[in-house]
């Protein structure tokens, strides 16, 4: 699939690795792809996002807040709540059985991270899905290549990742954004 990526799409993937390194992450998620698009304001995806009122710093701040302690936990609790699991009740039962703080996370064990020295950082399943969907978007537009605009379309089509959450929280209308990208891609 990567052989179909044009230079802007390739640079977006390279920049996503840099964004992950900046956050100290050992993965490339949808949020890193979004930040990479926003970093490249001369390309289709970045230009359109900025035109719709989202910039790299604002998106980075939103991502940092969402990933901070309560941000990710709140997302997890909400997801569990939608399938009928009350996280508070589970916590109470576990702490009653194993003692207070039994579910508190300790420090993460330090792992070797070869990517700190220039190695490749792996994509999350959701980020891989976005790249797959970017190919589908390119094919649906009858393009023989994948551009960063197609990656933006893939982010919106995937719709569940942190990048989609940031776009929605920023008040961007996916349909309007999608139409602008398609128009610019031709």
If you average pLDDT over each of 35-39, 97-101, 107-111, which comes out highest?
A: 35-39
- Summarised one tens digit per residue, pLDDT across range 48-84 is 999 988 888 888 888 888 887 544 455 566 666 777 7
Q: Can you read off the two tokens belonging to residue 140?
A: 């649906």
Do the beta carbons of residue 158 and residue 135 sit within 8 Å?
no
Q: How many CB atoms lie within 10 A of CB 100?
A: 8
CATH class as words, domain 2-68+117-185: mainly alpha
Question: What would the mean pLDDT of 167-185 be, rounded to a whole number?
Answer: 89
- Summarised one tens digit per residue, pLDDT across range 100-131 is 776 665 544 445 554 444 567 888 888 999 99
Three-state DSSP state, 97: helix
| Residue recorded with tokens 């003692």 | 99
Identify the pLDDT of residue 34.
92
Q: How many CB atoms lie within 10 A of CB 42?
A: 7
Q: Which residues of 52-70 are buried (b: 16+ CB within 10 A; e: fewer)?
A: eebebeebbebbeebeeee
Identify the pLDDT of residue 58.
87
Do the beta carbons of residue 121 and residue 17 sit within 8 Å?
yes
- Gap between the Cα atoms of 19 and 164, Å rounded: 17
List the domain boundaries for the chain. 2-68+117-185
- Summarised one tens digit per residue, pLDDT across range 129-173 is 999 999 999 888 898 888 999 999 999 998 888 888 888 888 888
């Amino acid at each position: 699939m990567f052989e179909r990526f044009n230079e802007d799409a390739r640079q977006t993937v390279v920049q996503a690795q840099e964004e992950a390194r900046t956050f100290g992450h050992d993965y490339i998620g949808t949020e890193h792809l979004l930040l990479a698009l926003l970093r490249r304001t001369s390309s289709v995806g970045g230009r359109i996002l900025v035109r719709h009122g989202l910039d790299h710093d604002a998106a980075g701040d939103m991502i940092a807040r969402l990933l901070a302690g309560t941000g990710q936990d709140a997302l997890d609790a909400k997801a569990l709540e939608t399938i009928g699991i009350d996280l508070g009740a589970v916590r109470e039962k576990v702490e009653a059985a194993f003692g207070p703080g039994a579910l508190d996370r300790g420090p993460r064990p330090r792992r070797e991270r070869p990517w700190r020295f220039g190695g490749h950082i792996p994509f999350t399943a959701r980020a891989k899905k976005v790249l797959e969907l970017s190919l589908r978007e390119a094919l649906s537009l009858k393009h023989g290549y994948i551009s960063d605009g197609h990656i933006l379309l893939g982010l919106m089509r995937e719709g569940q990742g942190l990048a989609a959450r940031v776009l929605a929280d920023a008040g961007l209308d996916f349909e309007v954004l999608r139409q602008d990208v398609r128009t610019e891609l031709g």
